[in-house]
Every structure is written in C-alpha cells, then in structure tokens.
Amino acid sequence: MTVTGSTGRRERLRAETTAEIKNVALALMTSGGPGAITLRAIAREMGMTANAIYGYFATRDDLVTALINDVYTALADTVDTAWENVPATDAAVRIEAWANAFRTWALVNPQGFRLIYGDPVPGYQAPEGGPAPDAARRVCTGVTALAAAAWPHAQHLHEDSTFDWSDFDPGLLDKVRPAFPDLPPAAVALALRIWGHLHGLVSLEIYGHLHTQTTSPAKLFQNELGQLVRTLGIPRRR
C-alpha cells in the first residue's frame, strides 16, 4: 500500500469513528437527556478507552459544538432547498414549503431540534460567536425571507406599526438588515411573529404536548399555516 493509500484509509476511519461518536452522543441524549452526553459515556458505549476518544474531541464542549453545527447546518440546508425549489413569484407556496420542510426535519430529527432550540446541555460553554454562526444566520434570514415575501401584500396591514430598530437585538439586525435592506422594522417584527407561529406548534409536537390534545397534529399545523398565509393577505395563484 502506498503512503497516500495509508493516509486515505486513516482519514476514512477517523471520519467514520467521528460520525459514530456523534451518533452515540445523540442516542445518549435520547435516553438520558442532554446531561447524558459525556465523552466517558460515549467511550464506554463504543468500547473505546477515554484517552482514545479524547483524540477525536478534546472536550465534551467541542463535541457538543460539532453536534450543534452539524444539525443546524442540516436544518438550514433543508429549508433553503425547499425555499429555492419554489418560484419566487408564488409567495404563498414558498412560505408553506419552507414551513413544512422545517416541521418535517424536526420530526425526523427530534434530538437535533432539541439540541438547537430546546434543552440546554448542562455546563456547556459555546464558542465566541456561537456554535453554528453560519447556519444560525441562514435560518434567521430564511425566516425573514418569509416576511419579505409577504410584505408587499401585508404592508398595508401594518401602517400603524410603532416598531423601531431599537426594539430589536443588534445581533438579529446584523443578520437581517444586510440581507433585506429595504425592509422596515415592522417587517422584522412580522418575521418574528411568523416564527412564533411555526416554531411554537412544532415545539409542542416535538415535546409530545400535542399528542395528548389532538390525534392529527399534522392537520392542525396545515390549518395554522393556511390561516397564516391568509392573514398575510397573500393571493394564491390559480
């Protein structure tokens, strides 16, 4: 075997082991909650020594950061693809596609959803700038894009808005204003309200609260989504 071949094999094995470590971490979170994610527990599950696993992740926080970045990026990829696959001229369908992609991803990846939006990992210290700054920006601007698509139709409903830029976190504005320089503060507020509708129902479903209240959470979500589009005043193409 050539040196290049040996190097390639080592890199492949390292990538496979790294992926297994992440999968075991999520499995531990499923059974024991976020606090169950420890390098020693993962090493035990994989039949590795603690020292060996430290060769892949120096600290538990490094692993958690990698996990959050992975799942957040996967979510961003999913909703971005759904958005881009619908013509920009069909705002209603575009919004519905993004929202349904968000819900579907969350249902398929409940632990990933909880890691991003739900249960904090005890003692976790995120790196400066956050564990997944690019994915967070993409999802944030994606939500704002929903409001931007609706704004030409909904603008007249917000003429008496009293929102000002000072009403929003500077970090949020750093993400959305460069991407949507023409949107006024009222449109950013609308984006947060849309996010509240979508995220709220999905969170209730992921955490099992809806299943004790309705036999059809999907129907409830679709009904809420349709009502949201109607209240935004977006006409449907025939």
Question: Quick check: 118 pLDDT over 70?
Answer: yes
Looking at residue 237, its pLDDT comes to 65
Question: Quick check: 1 pLDDT over 60?
Answer: no
Nearest to 144 by CA among 196, 187, 203, 200: 187
- Predicted TM-score (pTM) of the model is 0.91
d(CA 187, CA 198): 17
Mean pLDDT of all residues in 119-145: 95
d(CA 140, CA 16): 31
In one-letter notation, the amino acid at residue 166 is S
Looking at residue 216, its pLDDT comes to 94
Q: Quickly state the pLDDT bin for 225 (edges 50, 70, 90).
A: very high
Q: Are 46 and 108 in contact (CB under 8 A)?
A: no
Tokens linked to 132: 């997944």
Torsion of Cα atoms, 38 then 42 then 45 then 47, to 10° = -130
Looking at residue 115, its pLDDT comes to 93
Query: Which residue matches tokens 């949507």?
Result: 180
In one-letter notation, the amino acid at residue 84 is E
- Cβ neighbours of residue 172 under 8 Å, at least 6 residues apart? 140, 188
Tokens linked to 146: 């929903």
For 13-71, how does the pLDDT look when each residue is reduced to its tens digit (9 = 90+)? Answer: 999 999 999 999 999 998 998 999 999 999 999 999 888 999 999 999 999 999 999 99
Q: Quickly state the pLDDT bin for 211 (edges 50, 70, 90).
A: confident
Q: Are 50 and 39 in contact (CB under 8 A)?
A: yes
Find how far residue 126's CA is from the centre of its chain. Answer: 16
Looking at residue 50, its pLDDT comes to 84
d(CA 216, CA 103): 14
d(CA 44, CA 182): 54
Q: Which residue has the higher pLDDT, 7 or 76?
A: 76
Nearest to 234 by CA among 92, 105, 128, 69: 92
Nearest to 60 by CA among 24, 90, 101: 24
- Cβ neighbours of residue 208 under 8 Å, at least 6 residues apart? none
Q: What percent of the chain has pLDDT over 90?
A: 87
